[in-house]
Structure 1
């Protein structure tokens, strides 16, 4: 069954306000709520970065139905993989069947400010693979002694584990990490707004290749797309709202070496709105909006999580509840 989720924009809102949006998303009919786990936001002015782990616990207590998870957390630097395994075992015990661990290999701006020397891509990927293995072993066994290249445990046991294992979703935007997701993930996470060929000719084939190596197919996985949407009845407002997330439109070259939200904000604010809108589905027409969103379903994605850029998330949730979710549900046969 297709699922439709809400992205709680932790970089924009203080913890309590963000929590109320998560609760409102459940009431509006969203199936899931995912939150990012940043130490620092993309912009300094008006920026926020509530810690995901305590925030998820609060959301679970305030909601009854939605699946909740991280999109995404990095289990390699700020957190030892054992800490991640412990925390999500506890969350899964508090709300069985409602918790997802979404993980990725990380960004320097969330790790380097704590004095962590940011390694090259090869080491980050190796750490990421090893962290996943350790988390899985800690969830599966007792008295776990693990001798890895980067992590070690000695007779470690996680005592409070849910009867139903917390699924791991692996985030990726390149073929190597996507193949890893296919091999070891219960789900796959990527983001929208890039060329269709990246998904259809690179990422999805890599995911299938990885799954085949593990003796399964992508139909055994939840394929999650974080869809960047700016929907409003006022198109000018929808377009202007994308300025809050202008950093997403910066090229890799423009962002390389930038670990300071103040500098990231400066770079993003220098962009014209035409560029800040380039990563978003900008629309004021619900029918057209659903058509554009559905392109990701046609590619094979099964879980769409909607991330809106504007400061009035209550307005976005209400508009989606009234105009977009009913159309998506009808088209999905729900």
Structure 2
């Protein structure tokens, strides 16, 4: 059965609003909630970037049923992996075992803020591999001394460990990242409905003899609104950066850079890649590509803070029913 999630999009909403939306999303029937983890929005028009971990702690206490994800945290520069391990263990306790730690190699937009520069893709992957190993070791509860290529951990252990172990999901975008992270993580994260990514992940884990069910967690932006023109305009104002692709988006350092890179993107261009307007069938068809590619979990990003209440009150319930019917 495909699980459908709601994205707590920290780039477009403040922390109190996100907690309120999280409660409403659980009540309307979403299976999980995934929080982005940014220090800056992609575009100034989005206007927010509260701390994801503080917000998720509040969400964990305000909700009872939904699974929670970071989608995704970069544990290599802005956060030391030892700090991420402690955050994940604490959040898992607060969430009573509902949390999965989503990790990725990050974006310059968020990681440059600590003044350590921006490494090459290969170095970022190597840093993430080492970070995951450190996080795994600390989540075991054992005392850890570590002197690696990128990180040191000095006589450290976690004192508060959850009863339910923290599962780790890793973001991948191609064969090289699959080879790097499928042996280290439990689940896959990707933002494109690429069947080869999912099959490659499963094949790599099977070849390594790794046990357990491995989930594939995807994410898709939508812009529901009773007025299609308003939806297209809102998607263009806040989400035109999306078309740049990961190779470009990972390297741009500021919202001004994203604005410049997307200045020639037209509203019609955005509407061709993001379902906009009141047509729920069109949204279902856009999401269909993910479950047909083998994704087990699909998170929806409803674009625009000002649209969240109405989306959750009017559209989310019927949309979830349509998605579950079509994917069954």
- Which whole-Å deviations, capped at 9, do the CAs of 1:183-236 have from their partners, x for residues lacking one? 2222111113xxx6xx123x123312321233147x721111102222333322
CA spacing shift, 1:108–1:144, aligned 2, 3 Å: same
| Offset at residue 94 of structure 1 (A) | 1.6
TM-score w.r.t. structure 2 length?
0.92
**Alignment match of 1:316 (pick from 306, 311, 314):** 311
CA shift, 1:99, in A, is 0.8
Q: Judging changes above 3 Å, is the alpha-carbon distance between structure 1 residues 291 and 248 closer, same or farther for their aligned structure 2 residues?
A: closer
Which stretches in structure 1 are left out of the alignment for 5+ residues? none
Match of 1:285 in 2: 279
Q: What residue in structure 2 maps to residue 234 of structure 1?
A: 227
Task: Give the TM-score taking structure 1 as reference length.
Answer: 0.90
Tell me which residue corresponds to 1:188: 188
1:264 match: secondary structure:
helix
- Kept in 1: contact 2:145–2:156 (CA 8 A): yes
Change (3 A) 1:256 1:29: closer
Is it true that 1:222 corresponds to 2:208 in the alignment? Answer: no
The alignment's C-alpha RMSD in Å is 2.1
Structure 1 distance, partners of 2:208, 2:247, is 35
Q: How many residues align?
A: 326
Contact 2:77 2:114 in 1 (8 A): no
Could you tell which deviates more after superposition, 18-27 or 318-327? 318-327
Instruction: Name 2:206's counterpart in structure 1.
Output: 212
Identify the match of residue 325 of structure 1 among 316, 320, 323.
Answer: 320
Work out whether residues 168 and 185 of structure 2, in 8 Å CA contact, stay in contact via their aligned partners in 1: yes
Corresponding position of 1:173: 173
Q: How far apart are 1:95 and its partner, in Å?
A: 1.9
CA distance in 1, matches of 2:314, 2:179: 37
Cα displacement string for residues 91-128 of structure 1 (whole angstroms, at most 9, x for unaligned residues)? 11122221111110001111113212111111111100
Residues 183, 213 of structure 1: 8 Å contact kept: no
- The answer as to whether partners of 1:77 and 1:116 remain within 8 angstroms in 2 is yes
What aligned pairs does 1:39-54 form with structure 2 within 5 A after superposition? 39-54=39-54
Q: Relative contact order (C-alpha < 8 Å, sep 6+): which is higher?
A: 2
